[in-house]
Amino acid sequence: MKPHTTSIAVEPSRRRAFGEVQEKAAAQYLIAQGLELISANYQCKLGEIDLIMRDTTCLVFVEVRFRRSLAYGTPAESVDYRKQRKLMRTAQSYLKSLQLTNRAPCRFDVLGISPGQKSGSFHFDWIQSAFEMA
């Protein structure tokens, strides 16, 4: 599936809160695309999932990645095989905790964020079904 890209303006007030601003902007962006936010920053002993959302047909586990520069690749390219495995294990834990294992269709999306052309704005590169459960 082709990535869906767009830019919106967001002004972070503090560097320390920048990650939180990114994840909120990511959630707002995905909600505007028709997804429903279920959980943000789900954590368990196996790892963390940035956003858990629902679209019309399945649960969507979203990894949000930011890069200030594309010199070393896109944000989405930074989600390597090791990170994918960790996300899958964490998602399995989430599904098991809700007794949804093997009953809830799900997918893994990556939302890459980079600086937009306007100061204080973000550019989103949403890759749906970026990888599948192994």
Token code pair at residue 71: 């010199």
Tell me the average pLDDT of the chain: 83
Q: Which residues have C-beta within 8 Å of that of residue 46, sequence separation ≥ 6?
A: 86, 89, 90, 93
Third-level CATH fold of 4-131? Trna Endonuclease; Chain: A, domain 1 (3.40.1350)
**pLDDT above 80 for 4:** no
Q: What is the 3-state secondary structure (H, E, C) of 31-87?
A: HHCCCEEEEEEEEECCEEEEEEEECCCCEEEEEEEECCCCCCCCCHHHCCHHHHHHH
**pLDDT by residue (tens digit) across 97-129?**
988 877 778 999 999 988 777 877 788 999 999
> Quick one: tokens of 61?
């586990």
Query: Does position 12 have pLDDT exceeding 50, yes or no?
Result: no
Q: If you search the block for the tokens 């996300």, which residue do you land on?
A: 87
Q: Which residues pair with 109 in a beta bridge?
A: 62
47-70 pLDDT, tens digit each: 999 999 999 989 999 999 887 766
Q: Where are the domains of the chain?
A: 4-131
- The residue with tokens 């943000």 is 40
